[in-house]
A and B are shown apart, each in its own frame.
Chain A
Amino acid sequence: MVNPVLLIAVPLGLAFALPLFGLISKRIVKYIPVVAFIFNFALALRLIPDVLKQAIVVEIGGFPPPFGINLVAGPVGVLFSALIALAGLLVAVYALAYITEGPKEKYHMLYLLLLAGATGVVLTGDIFNLFVFFEILCISSYALVAYIGDRAGIESAIKYLIQGAVGSSFLLIGIGLLYGLFGTLNMADLAQQIESASSISVFVPMVLIITGLGVEAAIFPLNAWLPDAHSSAPSSISAILSGIAIEVGLYAVVRVLFTIFGATNMFMFFAFLGVLTLLIGEMCAFAQNNIKRMLAYSSIGQMGLIVFAMAIATSYALTGGLFQLVSHTLGKGLLFLTAGYMIYRSGSMEISAFEGMGKRMPLTSLAFTIGAFSLVGLPPFVGFPSKFLIVRAALAKEEILFTVLIGLVLLGTVIEGAYFFRVVQVLYFKKANGNSERKDAPVAGLIPMVVFVAFILVMGIYPQLVIEVLNSAASELLHRMEYIRSVLG
């Protein structure tokens, strides 16, 4: 059996080896992330059948849990690592042609580090280890946001950094408190011992951890960094930040809430918070004229939707929430990638600069349209089955409150539809003013777009493809006792 630790070790090792490769040849450097994530994606796919039967627990250094650090490759972890590897691979291919300026070697190194950190967060079974991987993710993303080095990039990076650092400090205090209370850092062991602790003493570390992780997960009102950072980063990094980084943050929140604390009573609060995040994100996106800020605010909205779905906390809802996560990664990744080249060609981030893009860059525009339709949740794209599951789960609660909340969620969808369709109209139904030369994105840019579109279509038409993994991932989150048993034996 293959060892899941390779999922983290390979990108991490290659990240540090990358400057050495750079000594041999400057040209091969950019292919290293591609290779790393091909490997990771294949490995994650290979692991899926195994982990569906039984979660793989890797003891690092040979200490059995709860001692030492362990990795838990359950369905959730492998699902996320496959998603990270997929998005990482496609964006790495995109970056082959897109990243042409600046210290390229460092870009690729940080890129590998970012995704190694993300993979670490989703696989680890130790809460301090989670913090460390989280910091790897965050620090490399601060640096990557500043990669272009212009005014906006630096400004947003420093703002992101300060908020992220405050968040991490809270997270660390929370972890310290937990350790002080229980004397363990193993998540399964913590989960077991928390049952017997008094609620008020556990509450303080919980809110600290939630707040700390919530900054990265873009929960309202902790998300002020997001629109700046996502809009100022290079588009390939925006795609990863939106498609992976905040998802991983959300994963951490969900893992802490569900597995460690089993905080079922807080879910109602989080349902409200999710709807609030959704509405605020969508409304801010509606008011934007800058395409990348619009997409960034739309990510906030989508995060809100996922938080809402998770907070319903039934197996349907979790399946739906995880599915929405997958569909958001695919959709938003695609949108940022396409927007990247449209910005490159038009020289502006204003939506009005994209007039006539349907003629100038037909394939890119088509890909953008499909991504937008998918995010709005139109069939036959992947956004539809995921929204379908969430709405169904909310209605299956058969409570007036949830019906009202789902109404508000769908109001958010209406707003979302309004701004996405506006962009689609600009792409296709406005005459290009001035330059109307037909020149699409380069091949290395088109390949990931096409693959994203293919995934969006295939999963939209045949959701059964992933539903089994999603189901068992949902049940892993929902049944914390089984998680504890599978780790501690």
Chain B
Amino acid sequence: MSLELLLIVAFGGALLSYLFGKICPQIRDPFAVISSVALAVMMAFLYGKTMESPFYFGFLGLPLILRTNMLAWFFAMAISILGALSVIFSWDYVKDRERTDFYYLMLLLANASMLGIVFAGDFVSFFVFWEIMSWSTFLLISYNRGRALGAGMKYIIMSIVGSVSMLIGMLSLYAIYGTLHIATLSKLVPSASSGYLLFLFILFGIAFAIKNALMPLHTWLPDAYAESPTSFNGVLSGMLTRMGMYGFLLIIYVIVGAARALNLGPGIFKFNYILAWLGAITIVVSTFIALLQNDAKQLLGWSAIGQGGYMILGIAFGTSLGLAGGIFHTLNHAVYIVLLFMSVGAVQYRTGGQRDLDSLGGLIKRMPVSFIGALLGISGLIGIPLTNGFVSKWLIYKTLILEGHPFLAFAALIGTWGCILYCYKFVHHIFLGQLPEKYKMVARAPFSMQLPMIILSLVILLFGILPGIPLKVINTIGTSFGFQSLNVTTWGIASETGTLNTINIFAAVVAACVIVWLIFKAGPKAVPVAQEDTYAAGAAIPKDRYHYTVDFYNPLYRMISPYFKDFIGGFCIKLAGWTQNVCHGIRQMYTGYIGHYVMYIVLFLALLIFVQLKWSLW
């Protein structure tokens, strides 16, 4: 199976969905689902293959190349599966919206362009697909209108800044080496001078850090996550944001190579240390900002920024353990954040778009599948053993400790601690607690939403109990970067400093569950009481007048809220304002009075003569 065919299916599926939507809307949704599922199936057949072939020669004499290897396949598989699940989820979610054809076109286009990015074998096609991804995402983020417009603008401006910086980096490679073929560059670039490598890292780093929302370049993300259609959040948060991770892996480990990339730079200001510290700052700051959010999607958005920091921490030190942790965390995070967004989406769908945490509550009985999804999702996010997040976080902590970075490890731990708090807040405010009157009659999520949630919940458990399945693939990626192979078994990792064995944990947990069940069985039967009774100790409270989830963690809020604000986001808004003012100032030059205009002409003439007399240019 050729890669061209895959991309044709991906892009063709997007365009055909749009056309079908225009011709006969009934078959559009099934077609979109079928094409994206087919894509995932085809992708599975690509496992373990390595190939490379140019597919287009028409671009300025540069061959555009597609290639696949384990790294590309790993990302492509995740993209196509999560994409297919998002398409399935969208079925009911966008059914009643207007412009659904447009929605499907952009959703599938974003997916297809991500596949293009990971399969790109040269930087031109990488950049082309990267840009298609940027503008299609922009159009989808703006889809909800209203506040979404501002979010879309933030996204696209930062995105262009990133692309521009990548363009400079990539074309400087082209200017120096005369090729943009990644495999050739990976042979040539490692011998470049340190200064040039640093220059490359900074330029590409800006592009990928923006996409990966690494602080201080994260400002687009919270709004973009919050305002885009929730059914698209699956794609946006799962893999699209993590294209930045793919980019980091590509530039650090594929092109420059670990041997040169690590310890590059003067003294303690080494490139990878700075990257790691940025990751750590990202974790701590964004975790606490997430804690302060009262909007479910904003909360998840800030949490996603923080989790991106873990991935960066994992890959920054260039050990096989850390790399495995970072890549595995990318996958795990994609799985559970998509699940969490789907759960929020299901709630939104049934409650008329409500995502304010203070207005929800008690939906556990009304929407059990969504609750289970959310519960497993936050378990993964926190890193509770037997869920996937545990394994990757374990690998990252292990790396940090082994490499001798206690402060970074401490930052990561603080992140997890804060993560527990906001995760609990998240699941409590939506599903536990008091059920507001108006949501008494809320129905379960439709099947098209339950199905992806069930699948993802199972994946979380599967990867948690048998982490060896993905880790074997990741290990192959690591060895292809030139690292030594890890001792991976299906249920864990063995290393000289400690072994992770999930089967043991699984056995222990099962045993504990049995014991607890037995104890409860032996004890007296529980008596259900009304919720108001436990809360008000039997005193009569008017219904719907009090909502005891408001001001959750109040003392903590008061303590941290002055320090953990999005200062950089505020600065960006200010910067935009200043730019506007400067622009208004500059255009005052065109006064509308002809005398001035004639004067400009004469002054220009004078300037030319002055330049000549002063510097004798000619």
Interface residues of A (CB under 8 A from B): 158-159, 162-163, 166-167, 170, 199-200, 202-204, 206-208, 210-211, 214-215, 221-222, 224-225, 227, 261, 263, 265-266, 268-269, 280, 283-284, 286-288, 297, 373, 376, 378-380, 384-385, 387-389, 391-392, 395-396, 398, 403, 406-407, 410-411, 413-415, 417-418, 421-422, 424-425, 428-431, 461-464, 467
10 closest Cβ pairs, A-B complex: A287-B583, A396-B175, A207-B608, A410-B164, A379-B128, A224-B597, A284-B587, A221-B600, A395-B175, A283-B583
Assess whether B60 is in contact with A413, with CB atoms less than 8 Å apart: no
Assess whether B617 is in contact with A266, with CB atoms less than 8 Å apart: yes
Which of the 9-residue segments B147-155, B254-262, B563-571 touches chain A?
B147-155
Q: Say yes or no: A392-B153 contact (C-beta < 8 A), given A379-B132, A410-B167, A430-B145.
A: no
The distance in angstroms between the C-alpha atoms of A464 and B58, with both chains bound, is 6
The distance in angstroms between the C-alpha atoms of A135 and B128, with both chains bound, is 43
The distance in angstroms between the C-alpha atoms of A307 and B149, with both chains bound, is 34
Assess whether B586 is in contact with A380, with CB atoms less than 8 Å apart: no
Binary interface encoding of chain B residues 605-618 relative to chain A, with 1 for a CB under 8 A from any of its CBs, else 0: 10011011000111
Task: Enumerate chain A residues within 8 angstroms of B167, measured Cβ to Cβ.
Answer: 387-388, 391, 410
Assess whether B168 is in contact with A407, with CB atoms less than 8 Å apart: yes
Interface majority SS (helix, strand, loop, mixed), chain A = helix
Assess whether A414 is in contact with B597, with CB atoms less than 8 Å apart: no
Task: Enumerate chain A residues within 8 angstroms of B160, measured Cβ to Cβ.
Answer: 376, 413-414, 417-418
**Cβ contact of B603, chosen from A170, A221, A467, cutoff 8 A:** A221
**Cβ contact of B617, chosen from A269, A287, A384, A406, cutoff 8 A:** A269
Q: Is B157 an interface residue (CB 8 A)?
A: yes
The distance in angstroms between the C-alpha atoms of A182 and B579, with both chains bound, is 50
Assess whether B611 is in contact with A269, with CB atoms less than 8 Å apart: yes
Q: Say yes or no: A410-B579 contact (C-beta < 8 A), given A206-B618, A211-B605, A385-B59.
A: no
The distance in angstroms between the C-alpha atoms of A398 and B153, with both chains bound, is 34
Which of the 9-residue segments B134-142, B417-425, B481-489 touches chain A?
B134-142
Q: Is B584 an interface residue (CB 8 A)?
A: yes
The distance in angstroms between the C-alpha atoms of A224 and B594, with both chains bound, is 9
Q: Say yes or no: A287-B587 contact (C-beta < 8 A), given A211-B605, A464-B60.
A: yes
Q: Say yes or no: A166-B598 contact (C-beta < 8 A), given A283-B582, A380-B132, A431-B145.
A: yes
The distance in angstroms between the C-alpha atoms of A214 and B584, with both chains bound, is 25
Task: Enumerate chain B residues within 8 angstroms of A159, measured Cβ to Cβ.
Answer: 594, 597
Task: Enumerate chain A residues within 8 angstroms of B580, measured Cβ to Cβ.
Answer: 286-287
B172 CB to closest chain A CB, in angstroms? 5
Task: Enumerate chain B residues within 8 angstroms of A403, measured Cβ to Cβ.
Answer: 168, 172
B491 CB to closest chain A CB, in angstroms? 45
Q: Please report which residues of chain B, range 554-594, place their CB below 8 angstroms from some CB of chain A when the two chains form the complex.
A: 579-580, 582-584, 586-587, 589-590, 594
A455 CB to closest chain B CB, in angstroms? 15
Q: Say yes or no: A203-B618 contact (C-beta < 8 A), given A208-B605, A379-B128, A379-B131.
A: yes
Task: Enumerate chain B residues within 8 angstroms of A385, measured Cβ to Cβ.
Answer: 59-60
Assess whether A428 is in contact with B139, with CB atoms less than 8 Å apart: yes
Assess whether B171 is in contact with A388, with CB atoms less than 8 Å apart: yes
The distance in angstroms between the C-alpha atoms of A210 and B160, with both chains bound, is 35
The distance in angstroms between the C-alpha atoms of A320 and B584, with both chains bound, is 31
Task: Enumerate chain B residues within 8 angstroms of A395, measured Cβ to Cβ.
Answer: 168, 171-172, 174-175
Task: Enumerate chain B residues within 8 angstroms of A283, measured Cβ to Cβ.
Answer: 579, 582-583, 586-587
B229 CB to closest chain A CB, in angstroms? 12
Task: Enumerate chain A residues within 8 angstroms of B142, measured Cβ to Cβ.
Answer: 425, 428-429
Q: Is B156 an interface residue (CB 8 A)?
A: yes
Assess whether A429 is in contact with B601, with CB atoms less than 8 Å apart: no
Interchain Cβ contacts under 8 Å between A and B, 10 examples: A159-B597, A170-B601, A203-B609, A261-B618, A287-B580, A379-B128, A392-B175, A418-B160, A463-B59, A464-B58
Interface residues on B, range: 35 or more
Q: Is B407 an interface residue (CB 8 A)?
A: no
The distance in angstroms between the C-alpha atoms of A167 and B600, with both chains bound, is 11
B130 CB to closest chain A CB, in angstroms? 9
Task: Enumerate chain B residues within 8 angstroms of A464, measured Cβ to Cβ.
Answer: 58-61
Task: Enumerate chain A residues within 8 angstroms of B156, measured Cβ to Cβ.
Answer: 417-418, 421
**Cβ contact of A388, chosen from B60, B138, B139, B161, cutoff 8 A:** B60
Q: Is B127 an interface residue (CB 8 A)?
A: yes
Q: Please report which residues of chain B, range 93-114, place their CB below 8 angstroms from some CB of chain A when the two chains form the complex.
A: none
Task: Enumerate chain A residues within 8 angstroms of B168, measured Cβ to Cβ.
Answer: 391, 395, 403, 406-407, 410
Task: Enumerate chain A residues within 8 angstroms of B612, measured Cβ to Cβ.
Answer: 200, 203, 207
The distance in angstroms between the C-alpha atoms of A206 and B59, with both chains bound, is 38
Assess whether A463 is in contact with B586, with CB atoms less than 8 Å apart: no
Assess whether A463 is in contact with B132, with CB atoms less than 8 Å apart: no
Assess whether B153 is in contact with A429, with CB atoms less than 8 Å apart: no
B231 CB to closest chain A CB, in angstroms? 17
B275 CB to closest chain A CB, in angstroms? 22
**Cβ contact of A227, chosen from B176, B584, B590, cutoff 8 A:** B590
Q: Is B604 an interface residue (CB 8 A)?
A: yes
Q: Is B394 an interface residue (CB 8 A)?
A: no
The distance in angstroms between the C-alpha atoms of A414 and B159, with both chains bound, is 9
Assess whether A265 is in contact with B582, with CB atoms less than 8 Å apart: no
Q: Is B271 an interface residue (CB 8 A)?
A: no
Assess whether A414 is in contact with B604, with CB atoms less than 8 Å apart: no
Assess whether B145 is in contact with A421, with CB atoms less than 8 Å apart: no
Q: A388-B60, A395-B168, A414-B157 are in contact. List 15 more A-B contacts (CB 8 A).
A: A163-B594, A203-B609, A203-B618, A210-B608, A222-B604, A280-B589, A287-B580, A297-B587, A380-B132, A391-B168, A398-B175, A403-B168, A421-B153, A425-B152, A464-B61
Of residues A261, A425, A461, A463, which shows the largest number of chain B Cβ atoms within 10 Å of its Cβ?
A425
Assess whether A379 is in contact with B149, with CB atoms less than 8 Å apart: no
Task: Enumerate chain B residues within 8 angstroms of A162, measured Cβ to Cβ.
Answer: 594, 597-598
Query: Which residue of chain B lies nearest to A320 when distances are taken between CB atoms in the complex?
Result: B60
Q: Is B20 an interface residue (CB 8 A)?
A: no
Task: Enumerate chain A residues within 8 angstroms of B152, measured Cβ to Cβ.
Answer: 421, 425, 429
Of residues B586, B589, B603, B608, which shows the largest number of chain A Cβ atoms within 10 Å of its Cβ?
B608
Assess whether B171 is in contact with A418, with CB atoms less than 8 Å apart: no
Q: Say yes or no: A207-B605 contact (C-beta < 8 A), given A162-B598, A380-B128, A464-B58.
A: yes
Assess whether A463 is in contact with B157, with CB atoms less than 8 Å apart: no
A411 CB to closest chain B CB, in angstroms? 8
A405 CB to closest chain B CB, in angstroms? 11
Assess whether B618 is in contact with A265, with CB atoms less than 8 Å apart: yes
Q: Please report which residues of chain B, range 355-386, place their CB below 8 angstroms from some CB of chain A when the two chains form the complex.
A: none
Assess whether B127 is in contact with A379, with CB atoms less than 8 Å apart: yes
Task: Enumerate chain B residues within 8 angstroms of A411, measured Cβ to Cβ.
Answer: 164
Assess whether A265 is in contact with B617, with CB atoms less than 8 Å apart: yes
The distance in angstroms between the C-alpha atoms of A373 and B134, with both chains bound, is 12
The distance in angstroms between the C-alpha atoms of A221 and B597, with both chains bound, is 8
Q: Is B410 an interface residue (CB 8 A)?
A: no
Query: Which residue of chain A lies nearest to B590 when distances are taken between CB atoms in the complex?
Result: A224
B125 CB to closest chain A CB, in angstroms? 9
Q: Is B143 an interface residue (CB 8 A)?
A: yes
The distance in angstroms between the C-alpha atoms of A53 and B20, with both chains bound, is 49
The distance in angstroms between the C-alpha atoms of A222 and B601, with both chains bound, is 6
The distance in angstroms between the C-alpha atoms of A167 and B608, with both chains bound, is 15
Assess whether A211 is in contact with B608, with CB atoms less than 8 Å apart: yes
**Cβ contact of A429, chosen from B61, B148, B176, B600, cutoff 8 A:** B148
Task: Enumerate chain B residues within 8 angstroms of A462, measured Cβ to Cβ.
Answer: 58-59
Assess whether A263 is in contact with B618, with CB atoms less than 8 Å apart: yes
The distance in angstroms between the C-alpha atoms of A204 and B612, with both chains bound, is 10
Query: Which residue of chain A lies nearest to B178 when distances are taken between CB atoms in the complex?
Result: A396
B475 CB to closest chain A CB, in angstroms? 35
B193 CB to closest chain A CB, in angstroms? 13
Task: Enumerate chain B residues within 8 angstroms of A463, measured Cβ to Cβ.
Answer: 58-60
Query: Which residue of chain A lies nearest to B598 when distances are taken between CB atoms in the complex?
Result: A166
The distance in angstroms between the C-alpha atoms of A378 and B156, with both chains bound, is 12
Task: Enumerate chain A residues within 8 angstroms of B161, measured Cβ to Cβ.
Answer: 414
The distance in angstroms between the C-alpha atoms of A467 and B58, with both chains bound, is 10
Query: Which residue of chain B lies nearest to A215 when distances are taken between CB atoms in the complex?
Result: B601
The distance in angstroms between the C-alpha atoms of A430 and B579, with both chains bound, is 24
Query: Which residue of chain B lies nearest to A208 when distances are taken between CB atoms in the complex?
Result: B605
A82 CB to closest chain B CB, in angstroms? 20
Task: Enumerate chain A residues within 8 angstroms of B135, measured Cβ to Cβ.
Answer: 373, 378
